[in-house]
Structure 1
Amino acid sequence: MNIQTDFSTIPDQYAKQAPEELKIDGTPILSFPFTVSGVSENALYLHWMFVDPDSIPVCGFQWNHWAAANVPIAALQSGSAASVSIPEDFSRKVELIAPEAMQGKNSEASALLGHKNPKITTGYVGPTPPDADHEYHLIVWATTEPLKKLSQGFWFNELEREIRDAQEAPERAEVFLVGRV
């Protein structure tokens, strides 16, 4: 399984330099598109997380930007069953595209930050590195079964636990992307 994007550096509209109409409270909210290819024909669901481990020296923890689970592959396919495209702005359009999919809380939901607006505490929030360019990791898993113990607004550790405990070993792919200051 492989992940493809049309970029290796995250374009401005998905990150810190996004125009104000694509931000809420200064936080970028337009999620970027990507494609997952080489998906097993048995896989029915995708799950992913988008994280910034370079934030650890800055704020003391890995910044979690986006988590999604139980995204039905059938809702995203356009042609080949082995290739699945996640469209731009999927995070805000998920209820229209794949109503059974779930999104998790991101680091904006941390008690340390005090944000309460679900439009920025759940789903995608774009990179806004404060100190230097950061390397981001997008990790995608494919499974034959949904992750049944998750509910809307799950935490990242719950997703990781469910992936680890999946009945079959999930397929996994990872890509590294750069976010600019």
Structure 2
Amino acid sequence: MKISADFTVVPDDFAKAAAPEYQVDGTPVVSFPFYVDQLDPSVQYLHWAFTDPDSIPVCGFEWIHWTVANLPVDALMFDFNDSHALQIPPDFSRQLPAMIPEAMQGRTSAASRFVGATNPQVTMRYNGPQPPDKDHDYTLHVWGTAAPLPGLNQGFWLNELLHALRDLPAVPDQGGIVLTGKA
């Protein structure tokens, strides 16, 4: 599996410098577009995590910005420029619940008891990069499976996604990309 985007630095619309209309409670909530290509033919569902390992020295843990599970591949659009690439469009996180009800999004670190946010638009949707100290490298890791992951519900935690993936006989496909978020 190959993951790609049209940028290496997350554009302002999807990050810290997003316009007020692209934020909720001061958090950027419009998710960035990306592509999934070269899928194993057995993959029917996608799952992903967008995290910030560079947040560990700042807050003591890897910040979870976005998690998705059980997204049917056949619900996605192919990019017109490359008939083999699946396209995750801009603002997919906010559109997802209505577009594809069987797919689910997990909690972000904003839902942590250490942060205390309560608005589901922030705690269970995409949160854009907002590094407070310097530029951070963010990891988007995507997994593909032949069947949906069992035992997950809307608002799952990242560790539950990782356990569900670990408990499979085999993860048929996976890939990732590192993107920079500007301070």
TM > 0.5: yes
Paired amino acid for 2:178 = F
Equivalence for 1:63: 63
CA distance in 2 between partners of 1:104 and 1:44 (Å): 20
Given the alignment of the two structures, is residue 165 of structure 1 paired with residue 167 of structure 2, yes or no?
yes
Segments of structure 1 that go 5 or more residues without pairing to the other structure are none
Q: Which residue of 2 aligns with 1:155?
A: 157
Q: TM-score by structure 1 length?
A: 0.96
Aligned to 1:84: 86
The residue aligned with 1:98 is: 100
Partner of 1:53: 53
- Once the two structures are superposed, what CA deviation does each residue of 1:87-129 show, in whole Å capped at 9, x if it has no partner? 1111000023221100000000000111111110002000000
Q: CA deviation at 1:82?
A: 4.5
Which runs of structure 2 are paired with 1:1-181 in the superposition (5 Å)? 1-78=1-78, 82-181=84-183
Q: In structure 1, how many angstroms separate the alpha carbons of the residues matched to 2:97 and 2:10?
A: 25
Q: How many residues align?
A: 181
The residue identity in structure 2 corresponding to 1:94 is: L
Identity rate, percent: 49
Contact 2:3 2:175 in 1 (8 A): yes
Greater shift, 80-89 or 106-115, is seen at: 80-89
Deviation at 1:24, TM superposition (A): 0.7
Equivalent-residue separation in structure 2 for 1:154 and 1:76 (angstroms):
22
Q: Give unmatched runs, 5+ long, in structure 2.
A: none
Give every structure 1 segment of 4 or more consecutive aligned residues whose post-TM-superposition deviation is greater than 3 Å. Answer: 79-82
8 Å CA contact 2:143–2:171 kept in 1: the answer is: no
Deviation at 1:42, TM superposition (A): 1.5
Q: Contact between 1:41 and 1:82, CA under 8 Å: does it hold in 2?
A: no
Larger CA deviation: 162-171 vs 128-137: 162-171
Task: Supply the distance in 2 between the matched residues of 1:145 and 1:158 (Cα, whole angstroms).
Answer: 16
Q: Take 1:18 and 1:96, find their aligned partners in 2: how far apart are those partners?
A: 24
Equivalent residue letter for 1:174: G
Q: How well do the aligned residues superpose, as a CA RMSD in angstroms?
A: 1.3
Q: Distance between the aligned counterparts of 2:157 and 2:171, measured in 1?
A: 21
What CA distance in whole angstroms lies between the structure 2 residues aligned with 1:170 and 1:111?
Answer: 35
- The letter for the 1-side match of 2:10 is I
